[in-house]
Structure 1
Amino acid sequence: MSRNRFMLILRCLHFSSEANEEDRLAKIRPIVDHFNNRMNDIYYPGKQLSLDESMVLRREHLQFRQYIKNKCHKYGVKLYVLAEPEGTVIKFQIYGGAGDDTSGIGHTQKIVLKLLEEKLDSGHSVYMDNYYNSYDLAVKLLNRQTYCTGTLNKNRKGNPIDLATVTLRKGENKSLFLNGVHVGKWKDKRCVLYLSTEHDNEMMEVTNKRGTVLVKPSAIIHYNSFMSGVDLQDQMLSYYPCERKTMRWYKKIFFHTLQMSLSNAFHLYEYNKFSTNSKLNFYDLRLHILEKLLPKPPQIAEKMSTKHILTKIENVKARQKKRVRRQELSRK
């Protein structure tokens, strides 16, 4: 395929011809649904899951463009991603603005329940930050046999008042339990409010990068271990970006989804490889997939290795045959 033909296909690329003014994501909805359905059909994750936001870079004007200061791409289209701790994306959803079906009161609860729709009642442990966690959500998930652990916003509705006003010294921890929900407050350099329906108020020792032994609540230790799945996936995709700055937003989402599929394939390869002698990195795996998808080049006849050189033929006269002239009979 020539470059001009590829650019023509890319310019005309679209995924939905139906005009839907109510759904801002109609142009990319088939791709998102296809990815989520395929992952639900072919792969079932382990017990631990992490839920966090991801960003697709978009600086141009867009109705549902968002800003997240602690992300690599601070401006862009926000994705709510459910992933495994090592970075395998299970399901994702695009934030479509105020008119979205998950917007309004209880927005974060709707997002969590939507992403966990197929994984409820299975005993999973979900790790989330303070943007999602709340006492009401923890009770709802616990009733569906799903555990949650993570940090908690101190101004969240339903928080115990006693923990908000208590004063702690460094290293101290205070916990309250209600309806199977553990809400704790622990002070290290600053006070951290956390919530868990799986871990109690046990204090555990952990060694940091400098070799110092620290004592932390078990909920905080597990949260730090299993929460970074979405960030690891973003880090891996940042090594080989393929989205152009001038590309339309729905095409960027399409290529980002394609990148997530490649990342998932790499994680499955790492998990299921039988030989440890041959290590295939993410870049080499992408090249192998491209070689399998592209058609084989046509076979071209090999060139002769020897050069054509003029040589003199000896004894030419000896090999010449005598020619007999044809004699025509003259008419008389």
Structure 2
Amino acid sequence: MKSIYSPGKQLSLDESMVLWRGRLLFRQYIKNKRFKYGIKLYVLAEPDGTVLKYQVYAGANDETSGQGHASKIVFKLLEERLDRGHHVYMDNYYNSYGLALKLLDRQTYCTGTIRKNRKDNPVEIGTIPLKKGENKSLFSNGVHIGKWRDKRYVLYLSTEHDDEMLETTSKRGSVVLKPSAIVHYNNFMSGIDLQDQMLSYYPIQRKTLRWYKKLFIHMLQMSLSNAWHLYNKYSSVDKLNLYDFRLKLLERLLPDPNEINRRQVLKKKHVLTKIEKTRTRIKRIGRIEKETTEVVRKECRGCRALKKRVQTIYECKQCEGSPGFCTKCFSEQHS
């Protein structure tokens, strides 16, 4: 994706899970995911679900492990996108005042919810009481930390959006005033969840698969989802849904039926059988003549092509002329 595609301004960063319930040193548990147990992926995506980069969490062996893990993950995923004016939407697992300042120095904006016990949070933002619908904002060094009360208190952080309140329509049709940072966060944060939803329509979970094979197939599925997004974004013809796109892709990847018919493909199953035809011979042992019955042998067709003379008691009745074959040449001729 780095070499073929340049994303828009809005990006989202979140976790995704690959189902795995077996034993694994770095297996994780996330309660609000569809697959609660498995291999955790940190994913950078666009709001429409196009995956730009991902990082597998490998526990203590991970290069991003240790103190400041969340901040290291953000910079690892954004290392090719810094200094370009992108805006990253993240949840409260990543956001902090210190991280926002570091991203601002690299010309990158961030917005999202924030935990109330984060280091460098202003004290008054956690203690000030608010009525429902009220908003309190504080600004420092270009970082906006706000507190808004809906059904419960919501702490948020943004380096681009101010304290403007926007009208939004809820699911029930009522008009509600919300901070602009919260409105944009709700609009642009769902890229990873949307990608997980698209992959769930064609599940690849099988108990017989090893964890690394599941991870590899999951990567292929993400690549296929990306191809579908890019096709619909840049194709001059009508857009395709994911089902039709997968069928079209299979048709292109599978060989041409006309080409198959031109090959020497076996029309029916060929079996190596023992020659049934026999002949009677008179065998002389001293002065005694004894009549014996033996199988009529045939010359092996494969060995004859190699200029070898080999007699065999086996033949293939499905081949034209029922030629003789030794076991080795039969396997090679009918592979």
1:272 is matched with which residue?
Answer: 234
For 2:241 and 2:13, locate their aligned partners in 1 and report how far apart those are by CA, in whole Å: 26
2:245 corresponds to 1:295: no
Alignment-mate amino acid for residue 129 of structure 2: T
Per-residue deviation, residues 266-325 of structure 1 (Å, max 9, x unmatched): 1112212334xx442101111111111111232279xxxxxxxxxxxxxxxxxxxxxxxx
Q: Which residue of 2 aligns with 1:262?
A: 224
Q: 2:215 aligns with which of 232, 253, 259?
A: 253
In the aligned structure 2, how far is the partner of 1:42 from the partner of 1:199?
31
Match of 2:58 in 1: 96
Q: Pairwise mapping of residues 121-160 of structure 1 onto structure 2 (< 5 A)? A: 121-160=83-122
Aligned counterpart, 1:236 = 198
> Which is richer in strand?
2
What is the match of residue 110 of structure 1? 72
SS in structure 1 opposite 2:111?
Answer: strand
Whole-angstrom CA distance in 1 between matches of 2:189 and 2:42:
14
- CA RMSD in angstroms comes to 1.2
Distance 1:181 1:136 in 2: 10
Matched, 1:165 2:127: yes
Distance 1:177 1:296 in 2: 64
1:108-144 deviation line (CA, Å, top 9, x unaligned): 0000000000000000000000000000000000000
Structure 2 alignment gaps of length 5 or more: 264-335
How do 1:1-332 residues align onto structure 2 when only pairs under 5 Å count? 39-275=1-237, 278-297=238-257, 298-299=260-261
CA distance in 2, matches of 1:247, 1:158: 46
Deviation of 1:70 (Å)? 0.4
**Using the alignment, how far apart are the partners of 1:44 and 1:152 within structure 2?**
29
C-alpha distance in structure 1 between counterparts of 2:241 and 2:48, whole Å? 15
- Offset of residue 85 of structure 1: 0.1
SS, match of residue 2 in structure 2: helix
Cα distance in 1 between the residues matched to 2:183 and 2:19: 32
The Cα shift of 1:162 comes to: 0.7
The Cα of 1:243 is off from its aligned counterpart by: 3.2
8 Å contact 1:51–1:128 — kept in the other structure? yes
What is the one-letter code of the residue matched to 1:160? P
Deviations 1:160-200 (A, max 9, x none): 11101111110110010000000000000000000000000
Q: State which drifts further: 286-295 or 118-127.
A: 286-295
Distance 1:274 1:289 in 2: 17
TM-score (norm 2): 0.76
| CA distance in structure 1 between the aligned counterparts of 2:6 and 2:223, rounded to whole angstroms | 15
Structure of larger gyration radius: 2
1:75-129: CA deviations, max 9, x gaps?
A: 0000000000000000000000012110000000000000000000000000000
Specify every segment of 5 or more residues in structure 1 that has no aligned partner in the other structure, as ranges: 1-38, 302-332
Give the match for residue 302 of structure 2: none
Higher relative contact order, structure no. (Cα contacts within 8 Å, ≥ 6 residues apart): 1
Distance of 1:291 and 1:232 partners within structure 2: 26
Q: Structure 1 length normalisation: TM-score? A: 0.77
SS in 2 for 1:87: coil
Distance 1:227 1:90 in 2: 15
